[in-house]
Structure 1
Amino acid sequence: MTRDTGTTTTRRALLGAFAATAISAAPFFPGVTAYARGSGDIRKLNFYSGRTGEKINIIYCIDGKYIPESLSEINHFFRDWRNNKVHKIDPRTVDILAAAHGLLGVDEPYMLLSGYRSPETNAMLRARSRGVARNSLHMKGEAADVRLRSRSVNQIAQAAAACKAGGVGRYSGSNFVHMDCGAVRSWGR
């Protein structure tokens, strides 16, 4: 996704140079980030959207400090593609996605199927499917549905569950995994 301004480009160039010289630590998730401060905690998100054709590969946090411009780009990328409504995505969800991706050891970007869902979109999906929650965490910016071509639903779900930081749903029939920053729980096959 390209939406750079002069200041973002400069900051991104500096962050890229910093990242190239730093050693990225193990994946992080809520509860362990405090131990990483000052030790090269660089968190990155790599996604593409089959719905919009957009891509995002961005450093969003360094040494426990979230980068507001990066989070803003993530919010836009995770928008409800049906009506272009943007909502703040909870950084805890972003951390879980990044940590699970790191545990999978792949360079391939996640494919985002669903990030933020407006109440209108959620109601429409609920009318079509029993599997859509009335008070879905997608409407709060606290959930994402993803897939990887190179990994199975079970592999992705196991990586997400290993983070012990939120909900993990397996949707093998539809080939995607749901991750959220709500209560630790799992469902599906």
Structure 2
Amino acid sequence: MKKTNSSGLTRRGLLGAFAATAVAATPTYSNAAGFLRGAGDVRRIAMHSGRTGERLDTIYWIEGEYIAEAVREINMHMRDWRTGEAVQMDLRTIDIMAAALNLMETSEPYLLLSGYRSPQTNQMLRSNTRGVARNSLHMRGQAADLRLTSRTPAQMASAAIACRAGGVGRYNGSNFVHMDCGPIRSWRG
């Protein structure tokens, strides 16, 4: 059911109009950041790892500034769980994830399937799994594979695509969505 205000505009319609205006006014920010600007002066991300059992729910940006300690927590949470190696995650990917979660209007945290991947982990996955890119953006800390139980991969992908800020891969068979801050593109795996 769509929520409308007294003028008949949907919340998504208002968000889209605001984001288009914000992006045109400040082209140095990603489109995902434009969506987040409409949410106020705070950005938050929530996720958990089924592999490590760790949970993260943090405000990582306040009034135009990333919070260094929160960013370090995000980097550690999104580490390669196989090797324990963590890198500086590209904050554009975190912004895309947060913007998509905000658009889906859910309080459920993401289930993080894969964030950063070491070259060794990526090679092992390429040997055992179809569809793993040789030069995956996961190895640069620029991608995440995510799942929500309250949303389908189609719904998650639609929200991420609406951000118009990076790559979105929809994997219905494995029930997850890939989000990255690379070139704008989408695919089904």
**TM-score interval (norm. to shorter):** 0.7 to 0.9
Q: Which runs of 4+ in 1 moved over 6 A?
A: 26-29, 34-37
- Report the CA distance shift for 1:152/1:69 in structure 2 as closer, same or farther (over 3 A): same
SS in 1 for 2:127: helix
User: 1:154 is matched with which residue?
Assistant: 154
Tell me if structure 1 keeps the 8 A contact 2:45–2:59: yes
In structure 2, what is the Cα distance between the partners aligned to 1:118 and 1:132? 13
Amino acid at match of 1:56: L
Map of 2:108 onto structure 1: 108
Deviation sequence 1:11-31 (CA, Å, 0-9, x none) = xxxxxxxxxxxxxxx698714
Provide the residue aligned with 2:132 in structure 1.
132
Structure 1 pair 36/143, CA: closer, same or farther in 2 (3 Å)? closer
Contact 2:104 2:159 in 1 (8 A): yes
Tell me, in whole angstroms, the C-alpha distance in 2 between the residues paired with 1:58 and 1:99.
14
Structure 1's 124 and 43: CA in aligned 2 closer, same or farther, altered over 3 A? Answer: same
CA contact (8 A) 2:33 2:95 kept: no
- How many residue pairs get matched? 164
CA contact (8 A) 2:116 2:140 kept: yes
What secondary structure is seen at the aligned counterpart in 1 of 2:173?
helix
**1:114-165 C-alpha deviation (Å, 9 max, x unpaired):** 0000000000000112300000000000000000001000000000000000
1:62 CA displacement:
1.0
Letter in 2 for 1:76: M
Q: TM-score, normalised by structure 2?
A: 0.81
**Unaligned 5+ runs, structure 2:** 1-14, 20-28
Q: CA RMSD in A?
A: 2.2
1:32, distance to aligned residue in structure 2 (A) = 6.8
- The one-letter code matched in structure 1 to 2:96 is I
Cα offset, 1:64, TM superposition? 2.0
C-alpha contact (below 8 Å) 1:36/1:64 kept by paired residues: no
C-alpha change, 1:36 and 1:181, in structure 2 (3 Å) is closer
Q: Partner of 1:20 in structure 2?
A: none
Name the counterpart of 1:55: 55
Distance 1:32 1:178, change over 3 A: closer
Letter in 2 for 1:129: T
Structure 1, unmatched stretches of 5+, are: 1-25
Cα distance change on mapping 1:57 and 1:124 into 2, 3 Å: same
- Alignment CA distance shift 1:177-1:100 (3 Å): same
Corresponding position: 1:86 with 2:86: yes
